[in-house]
Structure 1
Amino acid sequence: MKKNQVVLITAFLALFVFTGCNAQKNIPVFSSVVYEGDDDIYNENPLDPNEFYNPILQGMYPDPAIARKGDDYYLVASSFAMFPGVPIFHSNDLVNWKQIGHVLDRKSQLKVHDTGISMGIYAPDIRYNPHNDTFYMITTQFAGGFGNIVVKTQDPKEGWSDPIKLDFAGIDPAIFFDDDGKAYVVHNDAPNEGEELYQGHRVIKIWEYDVENDQVIKGTDKIIVNGGVDLSKKPIWIEAPHIYKKDGRYYLMCAEGGTGGWHSEVIFVSDNPMGPYEPAPNNPILTQRHFPKDRKNKVDWAGHADLVVGPDDKYYGVFLGIRPNEKDRVNTGRETFILPVDWSGEFPVFVNGLVPMEPKLEMPEGVENKTGEGDFFPNGNFTYTEDFSSKNLDYRWIGLRGPREDFIEFTKKGLKINPFEVNIKEVKPTSTLFHRQQHKDFSFTTTIDYKPKSENDLAGITALQNEGFNYVFGITKKDKEHYLVLERTEKGSSEILASKKIELKGSIQLRVEADGDDYRFSYTLNGEGFENLGGTVSGDILSTNVAGGFTGTLIGLYATSANDAVPE
């Protein structure tokens, strides 16, 4: 090799090493996160030894469904465009829950990479079939060309099959296994063509299901509920159906009224799984719609329920509800609640589900409250601390539209988030690690080591309702200076609320905190005395009933190399 070639190669390698090291400097490392909730409702209502808090899953865990095998209970919830999808929890007593993973945790199962945050996975149903010792999770995936799908496993703790696409339209499918081994699928659908009577008019349809081939049987479909309990009253959005069998009869329970202020749960009965079904005379059996809007500790929108027999051989129902803040905004999203169910008569009724709901419940006999201990999911007021030292992410951390593993890297100094050339406003997978907002009053603090190279680079925190409604609070660069910037995006239009030049000599701590509808973003360069940037800002854009859609607020560790939040 000639001398000048050696010199050129040596120079190239030196340049490669130099630029490679420099490139690493603009990759943020998050060394800690502290989430702390401090809601008045829990401070004012301490638990007695025989009590637990309702909701059982705080924050965005909507549309719950529950299955039982022996002493094991499994609960799932909607996840929309979050990745992985369909969080799954396990319990032996309906009080203490451990998240054991997600049902849809592979790209082959979940194709939400190009869809809005409120699309994707809707209303999963989970059921155990004793005839083949198999669990089924059936759901609607509004993405990836899937539609209605089913996945299976014999052990929910060991992963699930790839999806089987089901050949029917509509949403909210649920599966029912009868004592004789036959199976059925029920779901929400549109009325027959030309028969729609009003906006929101929907029907419940049933099919026979071929368990051997995992498909509905063509030609068996039948409408079993038209509109709702009383079609003359123009009921809207009959949906989320489930069939139960008790004392030889078949009970069809559905949500009615839409996921909002008129939400409720209603029930029908038949002597045959295929109908005809007659509504109970005492419908609805669960709702919070009739009470003063300014009631204290308000729970609203209750519905979308599922029933199970508890460890005390009594019935319980899980369902969604909201707890709006003082301005009636829904930032924590739709949460998972539970109530005992009285089924001593012909029809079930949720105990105290037709009066204003209370924050505490009495535990089933013999159960000890262990929430927040060990791996049991916390509720009430709690502090969650994460230093990213375990090499396995806690299941509460989720990505958006793509796997977390595509952008995270564990290091000795903390969690590295390799930035995508995508910002939080784009409908693509983002390099963002999210934690749900679970309290009205909370703080979320992270420590970050980061030096952006250009104004295209930003890392920090995002508070997000969806791609068109969010806050970004992060570190970027303009000219040769480093800046902190706070950006508000509403209806897809962004505004810089504040920016400040800072001198980066080491790690920096960033914080977002809320007192009801009032949010504040602050920072410290020395670990002492947080300094606010941008004053108090409104949580309006983080509310479901302002931003639209079906999700709750997500607080994210965010990095991008496609930043457009440029300091002023």
Structure 2
Amino acid sequence: MSNKGQSVLFMILLAFIFKATGQNKNIPLFTEVIYQGNDQVYKDYPLADNEFYSPILQGCYPDPAITKKGDDYYMVCSSFAMFPGVPIFHSKDLVNWTDLGGVLDDVSEFNPHNTGISGGVYAPGITYNPHNDTFYMIVTAFSGGLGNIIVKTKDPKQGWGSPIKLGFGGIDPSIFFDDDGKAYVVHNDAPDKGKELYSGHRVIKIWEYDLENDKVIHGTDKIIVDGGVDLSKKPIWIEAPHLYKKDGSYYLMCAEGGTGGWHSEVIFKSDSPKGPFIPAPSNPILTQRYFGKDRDNKVDWAGHADLIEGPNGEYYGVFLAVRPNEKGRVNTGRETFILPVDWSGEYPVFVNGLVPIEPKVKLPKGVMNKTGQDSFLPNGNFTIVENFTSNKLDYRWIGLRGPREEFIEITKKGLKIQPFETHIKEAKPTSTLFHRQQHDNFSFTTTLQYQPQSEKDLAGVVALQNEGSNYVFGITKKGKDTYLVLERNKWPGRKGPVISEVIASTKIDVKSPVKLKISAKGDDYSFSYAINGSAFENLGGTLSGDILSTDVAGGFTGCLLGLYATSANDIVID
């Protein structure tokens, strides 16, 4: 064998040894994560034995839709460019929920790899069809040329079929199955060409749906709502439609007013699924837009709802809303709330949905609150400790623009993240394992073993609202020295480059593991570190969480907290 051949063989053998023994210092090892939520509202409103907290899904879980088969309830939410797409949850009682992962979990079929974080998929609908014992999830996908798609399964716990592209435009589709077995799709769309009357003027369309061939029937589309409840008042963004049938009549429920301070839920009634639909005289049936901005424990933006018959034949509605912090900023994003619905009269009305929404809801009769126990999602204030000792990583941990499995490895020592050659400011898959921020007051702490080899190497944590609005807190190199650096990235607008600023940096010794912590008290964020069991030291002082808020950063998501590694670091330390 030649000397060159021997050298190549030696390098291959050396690489194998490094991989087998974990001696490659470029691969960061995260050995623990502790997330602690500590909001004052849960201290001020302790639960009685017959109560549970709403929101039921804390953090960025917006646009809920819900269905049932027997006493099994399934709920889906928007996920945008997070992966897997369309998180799905299961419950037996509408109170205690388990996380089933994501509906769109095959990257070869749903690949948001090059989209902004607020692209991807949003506003799903989910409906069980008793006529063929099949669940349908329908959604708009803003990536890969998919458009509106539908997927099916006999059992949501066992996965879903491949996406089927549907031949219509618009957004926010849902599917309805009538008593006679016929199917219909309703969705938001633009008015007919040349008939748009004002900015935000939208319509609701209906199509007949071919169940055998899984497609809308060409030529059956019809506008059933033009503008909203009262077109003369120029209502904006009629969207998120859902059809229901009760006592022989058809009800169309929609969001109106846009996802913001004027958001609401409205209801219409008809003798036919194709209309004409007459608005209820008491609209809206859910909103928070009429109340003072400075009220305590403020819940706002309520709307985008879905109805379901719950335990004991009582109706409930799931919907999105936000809980702004003390400066009115929305860092936890749009969350999933629930309220009972009174449908004893002609039209449904959300119980206490037209007064300031309270943090507690009465349990359905006969239901026990087991949130945070066994496999049920926690609720209220809680602490999550992740040691990465389980073979199956909890579904709360997600990727962005691609599967987490492409860059993580769970070992006996902890979680390894293989760095991608992309950094956090790029609209590409990054090697970042994300967890949603679920409280205004929280801490997110991890223990990291890492020795970067060059200035292109960085590992640590991030607080991210989007690719242009985030904080990076990580370990990297400057020359021969190792540094801990804190960078703020701010997008001044939808055009132009991200403005990056190194807030602070310090030389550190990484021979021992380093603890990194992100903390927040409302709008005040801080970043700190600890070495060799010492007390935490702050780096960079107290910083504003403004860039982690929807109202400043734009888009549709809340703040994500991530374990981050990159081999394309571009932070320059002076």
Select which of 514, 519, 535 maps to 2:520: 514
Measure, in 2, the Cα distance between the counterparts of 1:219 and 1:16. 63
Matched residue, 1:217: 217
CA change 1:132–1:26 in 2 (3 A) is same
Superposed displacement of residue 187, structure 1: 0.2
The residue correspondences of 1:78-89 to structure 2 (distance < 5 A) are 78-89=78-89
Matched letter for residue 185 of structure 1: V
Is residue 269 of structure 2 the alignment partner of residue 263 of structure 1?
A: no
Matched residue, 1:101: 101
Native 8 Å contact 1:485 1:566 kept in 2: no
Measure, in 1, the Cα distance between the counterparts of 2:121 and 2:356. 30
TM-score, structure 1 length as denominator? 0.98
Matched letter for residue 450 of structure 2: Y
Matched letter for residue 538 of structure 1: S
Matched residue, 1:242: 242
Native 8 Å contact 2:264 2:288 kept in 1: yes
Measure, in 2, the Cα distance between the counterparts of 1:416 and 1:448. 10
Measure, in 1, the Cα distance between the counterparts of 2:320 and 2:132. 30
Give the match's secondary structure for 1:340. Answer: strand
Matched residue, 2:363: 363
Superposed displacement of residue 259, structure 1: 0.2
Matched residue, 2:121: 121
Matched letter for residue 103 of structure 2: V
Superposed displacement of residue 164, structure 1: 0.3
Q: Deviations over 1:163-189 (max 9, x none)?
A: 000000000000000000000000000
Q: Deviations over 1:458-484 (max 9, x none)?
A: 000010000010000000001000000
Matched letter for residue 58 of structure 1: Q
Is residue 513 of structure 2 the alignment partner of residue 496 of structure 1?
A: no
Measure, in 2, the Cα distance between the counterparts of 1:517 and 1:538. 6
User: Gapped runs of 5+ residues in structure 1?
Assistant: none
Native 8 Å contact 1:71 1:92 kept in 2: yes
Superposed displacement of residue 10, structure 1: 3.9
Matched letter for residue 542 of structure 2: T
Select which of 525, 530, 533 maps to 2:531: 525
The residue correspondences of 1:386-401 to structure 2 (distance < 5 A) are 386-401=386-401
Q: Deviations over 1:467-505 (max 9, x none)?
A: 010000000001000000000000121110000001111
Q: Larger deviation: 519-528 or 21-30?
A: 21-30
The residue correspondences of 1:223-234 to structure 2 (distance < 5 A) are 223-234=223-234
Matched letter for residue 557 of structure 1: L
CA change 1:17–1:499 in 2 (3 A) is farther
Matched residue, 1:308: 308
Measure, in 2, the Cα distance between the counterparts of 1:307 and 1:35. 32
Q: Deviations over 1:297-352 (max 9, x none)?
A: 00000000000000110100000000000000000000000000000110000000
Measure, in 2, the Cα distance between the counterparts of 1:227 and 1:14. 71
Native 8 Å contact 1:452 1:458 kept in 2: yes
Is residue 283 of structure 2 the alignment partner of residue 297 of structure 1?
A: no
Matched residue, 1:427: 427
Q: Deviations over 1:508-558 (max 9, x none)?
A: 110000000000000011123000000001000000010000000000000
Give the match's secondary structure for 2:56. Answer: coil
Q: Deviations over 1:233-261 (max 9, x none)?
A: 00000000000000000000000000000
Give the match's secondary structure for 1:25. Answer: coil
CA change 1:128–1:121 in 2 (3 A) is same
Superposed displacement of residue 205, structure 1: 0.3
CA change 1:108–1:15 in 2 (3 A) is closer
Matched letter for residue 268 of structure 1: F
Q: Give the aligned length.
A: 564
Matched residue, 2:413: 413
Superposed displacement of residue 17, structure 1: 4.4
Matched residue, 1:92: 92
Q: Deviations over 1:104-137 (max 9, x none)?
A: 1111331201100001111010000000000000
Q: Larger deviation: 427-436 or 15-24?
A: 15-24
Give the match's secondary structure for 1:499. Answer: strand
Matched letter for residue 283 of structure 1: N
The residue correspondences of 1:552-563 to structure 2 (distance < 5 A) are 552-563=558-569
Select which of 541, 549, 552 maps to 1:546: 552
Matched letter for residue 494 of structure 1: S
Native 8 Å contact 1:108 1:162 kept in 2: no
Give the match's secondary structure for 2:311. Answer: coil
Measure, in 1, the Cα distance between the counterparts of 2:237 and 2:393. 38
Is residue 323 of structure 2 the alignment partner of residue 323 of structure 1?
A: yes
Native 8 Å contact 1:67 1:74 kept in 2: yes
Q: Larger deviation: 105-114 or 213-222?
A: 105-114
Matched residue, 2:542: 536
TM-score, structure 2 length as denominator? 0.97
